[in-house]
Each structure stands twice: as C-alpha cells, then as structure tokens.
Structure 1
Amino acid sequence: MRLALLLLCLLVFAFRSDKPAYRLYDQKLKPTTYTRLLRQAAEADVVLFGELHNNPICHWLELQLTKDLYAEKKGALVLGAEMFETDNQQALSDYVQGRTTGKEFANQARLWPNYDTDYQPLANFARENKIPFVATNVPRRYASLVARQGLAALDTLPADTKRQMAPLPLTVDLTLPGYKAMLDMMGGSAHGGSSGSASSAQANPHGGSSDQAANFARAQAIKDATMAHFILQNLKPGQTLLHLNGDYHSKNFEGIVWYLRQQRPNLKILTLSSVESPNPDKPANESRDLANYVLAIPDDMTKTY
C-alpha cells in the first residue's frame, strides 16, 4: 500500500514538473490530442490554422501538420497562406515548382520580415514535394486604400487589378462580433449595418470618425473575403487545403470562415485558434468556443521577432 502511494506521489510530482510547450483542447476546452487533430484535419476540406505571427510553437506545429497531412492525403494537399499576396502568386509557384532559386524568389515577392525563420521551412517542404501553394491575401496596398477611403475606392481599379481580390461589390457585415469589436476598440459604431458604402463622418471620442473606424474594419474584411475566395478557387474535391493566417482572421468561426460559408455552406471547415496563457494546463474560460481546436501556449514562450 505504501509503495503504491509512493508511486502515485512520484507520478503526480513528475506531471507537475513537466513544462509542456503547448497543450491542445477541443472547442469546449477539454484536453485532446494531436492525433485527433490530424485525423479530423485530414477529413476536412479546409483547415484554418489561426497563428500568432511571432510564436515559434505555432510555426513548428504548422510544419508538423503540413508534413503529416501530406503523408495522410497521399498528395491531395494544398497549402495557402495570408503571408503571400495574390499578385505574388506567380513568384510563389515558380519557387515551389523549382523554377527559381530562393534568392530570386526573395527579389520577386514581398516577403514578411520573419519569412526566413517562420515560413521558409513550409515553402521549402512544398518545394521538395511539389505541393501547390496558394497566395491568398489581397495586396496590402488595396487593403490600405480601403482603410483610408472605404470600399468604394476599389470601384475605380482596372479589371486586372480587381482579379487580385474578392469579387466586388463586397458585402461586409459590420455587426459581426469580430468587426464590431474593432469598431468598439477604435471608438466607432456599426452604423450602416452590412453596407459596404461610405457614409458621412461622425465624431468619436478618440478624435477620429466612425467612418474611419468602419473603413478599418472593411479593410480587414477585404482581406478575409479575398482569402476565402482564393481558397475556394484552388480547392478541388477530395483535397484538403491547409491555410495559415493570423488568429484574428478565423477565430470565433468568423472572418474567413464567414465568407467561406456564404459561398459553400456545406464545406467541411476545421479551425484552430492559438492563445497564450500563464498556465496552458488551465486556459482561460474566454478561450472556449474560439475554434474547433485551441492551441494553448505558455505566455512567456520565446518569440521569433
């Protein structure tokens, strides 16, 4: 009896001494496993990995999931990422297909400052295995244009340019919780409801206007809608498209998910949301229902930048 008690104490001590780099939870914050995540990801049409851009655990797990999905899907895997913009698709495809070198790719595409450490391993794995890689994000200059002038500013763009983004006119529902939170943060309001058109400026307590706040949310929406559009454009039956994006673009089943559902209500979508926590063994209750899977990471985890 004493021996059994001693062994139990040792096991408890060993468990408490463990310092996991991450913990995985399901939507209701019940502990789950990577094996289950992989199995369900392989059965999904689209997997949206909501990352924290400077978190090494996110980038490491993205690479592991890519490798394992490639093995599971026997080649029926497609990658997509917010980190590459649609007008750089040719440069990305040329690199992944082995037609250009890494140096040429860096000169041809607008790469994020942390590309070398965080995204190059994924691009290289795609290159080694000839995995299609989709640049899904709207070119940043057009998102910036919307943030400054609203969606109406896109109407004057040439037809070739418009093909680099979601089809216009774009429906933006500013009452969705994610966009509304952006408005509240900036002191704006969801006046105009789902309208994408501009309206007269209204003062807000931060010295700007509610139009400015709304246009900031619309700039987020043109990114979400464009990513959803190019995901669907590049997804074939039987494939799984693993998409990497900032957590805000897919958490709470909004953003990209909302736009995917508008076009393909029956699409099998799996989402993962990344959170930092003082204690990954006990994630905060507000992490509940963020996604199908919640990736809890210690909040003192080292950063990539």
Structure 2
Amino acid sequence: MRVALVLLSLLAFSFRPDKPAYRLYNAKLKTTTYAKLLHEAAQADVVLFGELHNNPICHWLELQLAKDLQSAKKGTLVLGGEMFEADNQTALTDYVQGKTTNKELATQARLWPNFDTDYKPIADFAREQKIPFVATNVPRKYATLVARKGLAALDTLSAEAKRQMAPLPLTVDLALPGYKAMLDMMGNGGNHGATSDQKSAPNANTDVAANFARAQAIKDATMAYFILQNLKPGQTLLHFNGDYHSKNFEGISWYLKQATGSARPLKIMTISSVEMPEPEKPATENQNLADFLIAIPSDMTKTY
C-alpha cells in the first residue's frame, strides 16, 4: 500500500493535472481572463487579432470573439481580414450578404488554401448575422511588385489599381523595430530572393531586405487604410491578421495612429499569439507584445 501511494505521488508530480489549450496574459504577463479581454475589446474602436495562420486555437478564439462581440455590440460590429484582398471586396460582400454560394466565392476571390477550415466559419457567421466584412489587404501582386522593385514601382499603376491600396506616396520608417528586424534577418541571412544581378551588386542584401520590409509596410498601411475607411463612430472593427502585422504595437497599429493622430484618437486593442513550450511560464521576452497575449503550447496541432 505504501509503495502504491508513493507511485501515485510521483505520477501526480510528473503530470500536470490540467492541460489547457492556451493561457491568457496581459501586456505585463500577468494572468488574465477571456472575460476581461472581451470587455476591453467591446470598448475598443479597433481590435487587431494577431494570429498564427496555421494555429487552430487562434482561429477558434477568433470565432468566439466575433460571436461574443456581436452579442455585446448589438449590431455595431464590423469584421476585417488580411486574408481578403481589396480587389476581392465585391466577392466577399456578395457572399456575406447571401447572394452567392461558397463555390462561387471560391471562383470569384483569391482565397487562402486554409479558407475552408480556418476562415469560412467566421465568414459564415458574418453571413448569418449580416455583419459587414472588409477585405483589407493590398492585392498580393502589388506587394510582390514592391518586394521586387521598390515603392517607386507603384507610381506606374493605374488610378484603379491605386484605389486598392493606401494612398501614395507611402511613408515607411525602416527604423521601426519590426521592419528593422526584417532588415537584420535578411542582411545576415544572405541574398534571399535576390536576382543574379542583385547578388553581384555590393548592396544587394540591403536593397532586397529594404524592399521586402517596404512590401510588408504597404500591406500594413493598406490594412490600416481600409479599416479606417469602413469604421464609423460607435462601431468596433475586429480585424484578423498575422501576428507580425500588429505585435509590438507596430505595423497596422502604427499606420492607424499616423492616419488619425491626436485629432481623432482611436482606442486600439491588440492581441498577440505566441507558441511556447510552457504556456504557464511565458518568457520575459514576450512582455509588451500586445495588450493581451495568447500563450499556446508549442506542440499544438496545426491546421496545415
């Protein structure tokens, strides 16, 4: 009997009694609750949900937050997403308004490969509840153009094309930590994406990295632009985007603040998602990533 008790005690210390799928923290890494997150989100003008694109916990929480905000906001909720590009707005609106089927949406819009598993439940909820859904991202071909040739290449586009992105000329501060990290990563990592001519140029790494960061910036700025274009007083716009586009209160958030300034201050709430080995013990490096941090086990299953 004594041996059995000892074994049971060892098992109790070896295995955690509970295995939560995620933990929630505030910016200072103090534990918090979903109820507090929801309360803050309902008071915000813009909620930037920084997701990990292939993480099921993120997508489930996005859907839950959309449902709960719809109940709390009583018809003043708007949704927006990086995964829908501005020139696909009509196709997305037609689907949300019940005018087209999922099959038709798939032929009319450039949907991400994980749309059916990760984003269709949110789009279907918007369709059911008649919630406006904004396609906020710049068309990918223009971001690719910037990555290859720089921002000046956008000047050659038609007026119609320019209506699908943030107003030009675009200010990009490459000294911001997020963009600077891209410069450092690519500068130290070789000629990622460089052509043969660029590889032979003395400043090839710098030029390629800078344009890569500028391509990120045109996405951030365009998402901020279409958020503001579709936000009315009293509404909350819940926006789904990759974590890098809003963590550290940069990216989309930075462009929102630049556009509104002190004359029209917005209450922006940010959520950052981080996978870590021990979600109950977040590292100090995760402080101040966002107003709320979702800590998710590193071995969480992926959607793709």
The answer to whether the superposition gives a TM-score over 0.5 is: yes
Indicate the residue corresponding to 1:279 in structure 2. 278
Indicate the residue corresponding to 1:162 in structure 2. 162
Shift of 1:264: 1.6
Identity %: 76
Residues 1-305 of structure 1 correspond to what in structure 2 (within 5 A)? 16-187=16-187, 203=202, 208-265=204-261, 266-305=265-304
TM-score normalized with structure 2 length = 0.90
The question of whether the paired residues in 2 share the 8 Å contact of 1:21 and 1:297 is answered with yes
Superimposed CA distance per residue, residues 184-230 of structure 1 (whole angstroms, 9 cap, x where no aligned partner): 00117xxxxxxxxxxxx9635xxx33111100000000000000000
The question of whether the paired residues in 1 share the 8 Å contact of 2:186 and 2:205 is answered with no
Superimposed CA distance per residue, residues 235-282 of structure 1 (whole angstroms, 9 cap, x where no aligned partner): 000000000000000000000000000012310000000000101101
Indicate the residue corresponding to 2:196 in structure 1. none
Superimposed CA distance per residue, residues 63-83 of structure 1 (whole angstroms, 9 cap, x where no aligned partner): 000000000000100000000
The question of whether the paired residues in 2 share the 8 Å contact of 1:202 and 1:210 is answered with no
Name the SS for the 1:165 alignment partner: coil
User: CA RMSD of the aligned region, Å?
Assistant: 1.6
Shift of 1:28: 0.2
Shift of 1:100: 0.6
Question: After the TM superposition, which of the residue ranges 42-51 and 277-286 deviates more from structure 2?
Answer: 277-286
Name the SS for the 1:17 alignment partner: coil
The question of whether the paired residues in 2 share the 8 Å contact of 1:273 and 1:295 is answered with yes
The question of whether the paired residues in 2 share the 8 Å contact of 1:166 and 1:226 is answered with yes
For 1:32 and 1:104, how far apart are their aligned partners in 2? 42
The question of whether the paired residues in 1 share the 8 Å contact of 2:86 and 2:164 is answered with yes
For 1:164 and 1:217, how far apart are their aligned partners in 2? 19
Q: Structure 1 runs of 4+ off > 2 angstroms? A: 201-204
Name the SS for the 1:16 alignment partner: coil
Shift of 1:284: 1.3
Indicate the residue corresponding to 1:5 in structure 2. none
For 1:264 and 1:279, how far apart are their aligned partners in 2? 39
Shift of 1:16: 3.5
The question of whether the paired residues in 1 share the 8 Å contact of 2:24 and 2:34 is answered with yes
The question of whether the paired residues in 2 share the 8 Å contact of 1:221 and 1:255 is answered with yes
For 1:63 and 1:137, how far apart are their aligned partners in 2? 20
Shift of 1:17: 1.1
* Structure 2: runs of 5+ lacking an equivalent: 1-8, 189-199
* Structure 1: runs of 5+ lacking an equivalent: 1-8, 189-200
Total equivalences in the alignment: 280
